[in-house]
Amino acid sequence: MSPFRQTAQERLFEGFIVAIDRLHFTSHLGASFDREIVRHPGAVAVVPVDDQGQVVLIRQFRASVGAPILEITAGTCDVTGEDLEATARRELVEEVGLEARRLELLGIFMNSPGYCDQRTHVFLATGLTDVGRAPEGPEEVEATVERLDLGEAVSMVLRGDLIDGTTAYGVLMAARHYGR
C-alpha cells in the first residue's frame, strides 16, 4: 500500500503517441504535491541474433539528440489491437528487413519511471530470414543496418559506446540468454 494518495488528474497535452497528465497527490503525512507524467502506449524492442552470433542493429537519426544512434530494433505499440509479438515482428521487417522463426521474451523494463509510464517488452529474435526492409518514415529510410558480434556488442555497452538504454538492456539480456 502506498503512503501517497492521488487526489486529482488533469490532461495537459494529447499528442499522436504520448499524452501528459498532471497528477495531484497527498502523502500520509499531509504533504500535497503535483507530478507531470508522460503517458505512453508501450513499446517493443527486438534483439535479432543470427546463426553466426551477430546482433543486427540499426543506426538511425533521433531528433531528440539531433544525431544518429546505433540501436536494436524498437517501436511503439501504436497499432490498435496488435499484440506485442506482432508489433515486434512488424518492426523487425520495417527496420532491418528480417523475419524470425522464433521470438522469445527476454524481459520487460520501465524506460524512465521518474516521469513516464512507458514499459518496453524486449524480445530475442532467432532463425532469421532476410526479407528486405520496409522502412516507415524518413529516419528509417535513411538508416543503415549493421551487424556486430554479440560479445562485441556487450563490450560496447560496458564501454559506454552503445548509449541507448533499450539497446543496452536488450544486448545484456541476450548475452545472459546465451550464457555470456
Q: Where are the domains of the chain?
A: 4-39, 43-177
What is the pLDDT of the chain when averaged over all its residues? Answer: 97
Contacts 24+ apart (CB under 8 A), 129-134: 129/98, 129/99, 129/100, 129/101, 130/97, 130/98, 131/93, 131/97, 131/98, 131/99, 132/97, 133/93, 133/94, 133/95, 133/96, 133/97, 134/93, 134/94, 134/97
- In this prediction, residues 84-93 reach a mean pLDDT of 97
Fold category of 43-177 in CATH: Nucleoside Triphosphate Pyrophosphohydrolase (3.90.79)
Residue 94 is among the residues annotated as catalytic for this protein? no
pTM over 0.75: yes
Average pLDDT over residues 51-67: 97
pLDDT band at 88 (very low <50, low <70, confident <90, very high): very high
pLDDT at 1 (0 to 100):
83
Please report the pLDDT score of residue 116 as a whole number. Answer: 98
Band of residue 180 on the pLDDT scale cut at 50, 70, 90: confident
pLDDT (mean) for 119-124: 98
User: Which of 95, 140, 142, 146 is labelled catalytic?
Assistant: 140
| pLDDT per position as a tens digit, 13-47 | 999 999 999 999 999 999 999 999 999 999 999 99
